[in-house]
Amino acid sequence: MSHHAHPLLRLDLQRWRMRLTLALLFAGFAALSARAVYLQVWQSEFLSDQGEKRAQRVEPIPAYRGVITDRRGEPLAVSTPVETIWVNPREAAASPAQIQALANILGRDPDQIARLFADKSRAFAYLERLVEPAKARQIMALGIPGVHGKPAFRRYYPAGEVTAHVLGITNIEDQGQEGIELAYQSWLTGEAGAQRVVKDRPGNVVEVLERIKPPKPGRDLALSLNQHIQYLAYRELSDAVRQHQARAGSVIVLDARTGEILALANSPSFNPNSRATYVPDRLRNRAITDAFEPGSTMKPLFVAAALEAGVVRPDTPIDTGPGWFLLGDKRITDTHPKGLMTVARSIQVSSNVAVAKIALEMRGEDYWRLLTRAGFGAQPKSGMPGEASGRLRPYSSWRPIEKATMSYGHGISVSLLQLAHAYTAFANAGVMPQLTSLRREGAAPGTRVMSAETANQMLAMLELVTENGGTAPTARVDGYRVAGKTGTAHKLIKGSYDSRTYVSSFVGLAPASDPRLVVAVVIDEPGGRDYYGGLVAAPVFSRVMSGALRFMAIPPDAPFDIERKPVDRANIVAEAV
């Protein structure tokens, strides 16, 4: 009989299938129940920990970088909160309208952003770093999945290009790269903290559970700068560079007693708040990194060495003859013949012939020793990075012609900071205070460069330079006695002196009766009709010194000339180059 033909047999088969199905279902439920019991009882701690790991994160808390202030507490560099916007392309999903809105906020090409979102091979990419908080809020308000924000800090410099070379800059990671920011990186930088947070699936912070470690802000730093004098120095220097169509210029103001740098400016400069202005040539702190042949500004130091050695006195007569003489096959000249003159007069009119003849009568060792004590050939150690040592060769290698030319600043190279520092010896009875870029508390350690008698004699000679008949009447400051020295030198280019390019400089002190400030100015390659230090650099000195003396409320030591007239060019002695 066929199985299909018997109805009872067909019924038994259906019951068997039903029982099998029910058994399988019960077995499945039993397995699931056993698994659930196993997970909830024996694996509950492990699963709870894993769940928290997928919802909880430990995130860094950025630390605030220390504030840099001037000597009076005015802020020069501060940190402001910003956001870094990033995206996880694997999670990102944005409509064309959202991409266009994001591009409008960031000022970017929407196609570029669309390609970034479409690259699913990456799990992280920056959209924009260091975004202003208001702009960051606009971006997050778009609600684009996969787009996240991370808090950070960005450095802001209120004075901009005025203090740029002193302060330097930080990079996008807020690490010092130039200037004080680099030199005091370990002091200024903070220590990041940490916090435990709960995040949702898109990565947004839902809750801050605990602060594991609070951030430790960086320490504040008070500089020796006086922001008002810094503004003044930068303004006057920039005007002079433009007026004389110069390649560049620098100015330094020192407190002659404490060695503090009250102002240091360069032109051209850059805006540290705008990375678009970060051009290598503008970033260079020329006042401390560039070495140049100083020309006649070295004559006072040479004559001081001659006085110390007992070779001459201020009233010793020197016969300069027709204004030139031959040394071997080299001709040493003055701009105009002066005949017989005293050592003091040779400083006033800046005679190359006179100082060269003195050099031939003294030992090179005496000049070298004084220059070494004054810091030439070594870094000034002001606390700023990139200081040039300059070039001062051992005296044993000097030939007679080199002894002669070094007496008027050729064959030696110095930075403007070294030169300004050396002149503080004339202000402090022969003692040169240690330099600093930080606000100094208490007395400054110093180095004796020359005797008090020599320093006072030189100060009197330097005062003659700013009188009629000297090379720098334009350096005078109404109400104050001023002492100083001009310098005009041909530039050394590719191993030879270029007769058409000059470096013009002036270094001076005031009040001459009791010097408080030293101001040094250098103008590189003036391009107008004037190139003498007395016509290019000395007027900048006068304006900067005048303002600085008044800012510091230093009492006048000379009568005021109410009807003071501009200095007649005829009263300015042309300087030998």
What tokens were used for 390?
Answer: 């300059």
Q: Give the dihedral sign, CA 223/224/228/232.
A: negative
Q: What is the DSSP string of 141-153?
A: HT--TTEEEEEEE
CB contact at 8 A, 504 and 523: yes
Read off the CATH number of the domain in which 126 is found.
3.90.1310.10
180 and 232 in a single domain? The answer is no
Q: Tell me, what's the pLDDT at 379? A: 95
What tokens were used for 106?
Answer: 């960031």
Listed residues 193, 222, 251: the one ending a domain: 222
Q: What is the DSSP string of 254-283?
A: EETTT-BEEEEEEES---TT-GGG--HHHH
- Domain of residue 411, residue span: 227-559
Q: Where does 221-260 show beta strands of DSSP type E? A: 221-222, 248-255
Listed residues 197, 222, 247: the one ending a domain: 222
168 and 300 in a single domain? The answer is no
**Paired sense of beta strands 324-327 and 431-433, if any:** unpaired
Q: Tell me, what's the pLDDT at 174? A: 87
Q: Is the peptide bond before 294 cis (omega within 30 degrees of 0)?
A: no
Q: Which amino acid is at 30?
A: A
173 and 109 in a single domain? The answer is yes
pLDDT above 90 coverage of the chain, percent: 59
Looking up tokens 């110093």 gives 446
441 and 494 in a single domain? The answer is yes
**Assigned domain for 3 exists:** no
- What does pLDDT average to over the chain? 88
| Residue stretches of the chain with pLDDT short of 50 | 1
Read off the CATH number of the domain in which 424 is found.
3.40.710.10
Tell me the β-bridge partners of 79: 155
Report phi then psi at 279, rounded to 5.
-100, 130
Listed residues 191, 222, 253: the one ending a domain: 222
Structural domains in the chain (count): 2
CA–CA separation, 398 and 333 (whole Å): 20
CA–CA separation, 279 and 284 (whole Å): 9
From 238, 250, 296, 505, the catalytic residue: 296
**Cβ of 13: how many Cβ atoms within 10 Å?**
10
Q: Tell me, what's the pLDDT at 516? A: 97
Helix, strand or coil, per DSSP, at residue 23: helix
**Assigned domain for 33 exists:** no
Q: Tell me, what's the pLDDT at 1? A: 47
CA–CA separation, 294 and 522 (whole Å): 9
Tell me the β-bridge partners of 535: none
Q: Tell me, what's the pLDDT at 500? A: 87
346 is catalytic: no
CB contact at 8 A, 411 and 293: yes
Q: Tell me, what's the pLDDT at 200? A: 56
288 and 193 in a single domain? The answer is no
**Assigned domain for 15 exists:** no
CA–CA separation, 3 and 16 (whole Å): 16
